[in-house]
Structure 1
Amino acid sequence: MKYFEVKKARIEIIPMIDIMFFLLVFFIMVTLHMIPDAGIASRLPTSATAQAMPKPQITLAVDKAGVIHFDQRALTPAQLTAMLKSRPQPGALQVTLAGDKDTSLQQLMAVMDACRQAGVTKIGLATRQGGGSGS
């Protein structure tokens, strides 16, 4: 007689849980790529020959007073060198300098020298794509 007994319908929730976890991970990963890097507001210079660079591991902002900003902190060149030396493999780091439009070349060179003293050789300058007129 067991052959004719009606079985109760069951809802299997394990596949639904798997799908929900997959969607959760997907949305977390997408959201992480949408969050912009934190920094200070600056007016980047323009360049007609600007090229796309790989995403830098460290972005330093230099304002027109020559103050170096990293992760919402102001650093001196000596502090910058010490911070970069404390990182694992400073020679493999990619550093991008985002200098304000009014930042002098001497101030940018001081930051580059501080990076080179730490062993960093991959240094790029951030610009906006635009015309090549110097104004």
Structure 2
Amino acid sequence: MRYLETRKARIEIVPMIDIMFFLLVFFVMAMLKMIPNSGIATQLPHSSTAVEVPHPKVLVSLLKDGSIMIDGKPGTLPDLSHQLASGDAVQTAVTIASDQGTSVQNLMAVMDACRTVGVTQIALAAKVQH
């Protein structure tokens, strides 16, 4: 008589959860490939004695026309000073990525804006030339 008993239908949840996690990972990976990388095209000066420095807390890009980008966003020297003064300036590491055709005066203006608020860790970005 055991063969004639009706059995309750069971829905297995574990395989369904596995499939949902797989789909989630698949779509996350697909979306990461769709996000465009953004940045500014600059030609860094070359140096044969450049060394690797730690990752900066603030990256300042100095373009040929004298404009600056603070962590990828357009800004001015007062904006840079204000942003650096709002944090712990002594512990802040600033890297200046200056375009090859930038004048030294513009570079000095950015360095002065950093040092005025108390930043002591300033590095200049360069391409290593072998």
- Per the TM superposition, whether the score is higher than 0.5 is yes
The 10-residue stretch of structure 1 (65-74 or 121-130) with the greater mean CA deviation from structure 2: 65-74
For residues 37-76 of structure 1, give each alpha carbon's deviation from its aligned partner in whole angstroms, at most 9, with x where no partner exists: 533x22110111222223222211112343322233141x
Matched residue, 1:129: 128
Matched residue, 1:10: 11
For residues 109-128 of structure 1, give each alpha carbon's deviation from its aligned partner in whole angstroms, at most 9, with x where no partner exists: 22111111122222111111
Alignment-mate amino acid for residue 64 of structure 2: K
In the alignment, structure 2 segments of 5+ residues that lack a partner are: none
Query: TM-score, normalized by length of structure 2?
Result: 0.70
Shift of 1:2: 7.0
Shift of 1:99: 0.6
In the alignment, structure 1 segments of 5+ residues that lack a partner are: none
**Residue 96 of structure 2: SS of its match in structure 1?**
strand
Percent sequence identity over aligned pairs: 32
- Please give the alpha-carbon distance, in whole angstroms, between the structure 2 residues aligned to 1:90 and 1:5: 78
Query: TM-score, normalized by length of structure 1?
Result: 0.67
Rg: which structure is higher?
2
Alignment-mate amino acid for residue 57 of structure 2: Q
Alignment-mate amino acid for residue 50 of structure 1: A
- Correspondence list, 1:1-135, <5 A: 5=5, 7=7, 8-12=9-13, 13-17=16-20, 23=25, 27=29, 31=32, 36=37, 38-39=39-40, 41-70=41-70, 71-75=72-76, 77-86=77-86, 88-131=87-130
- Provide the alpha-carbon RMSD of the alignment: 3.2
What number of residue pairs does the alignment pair up? 125
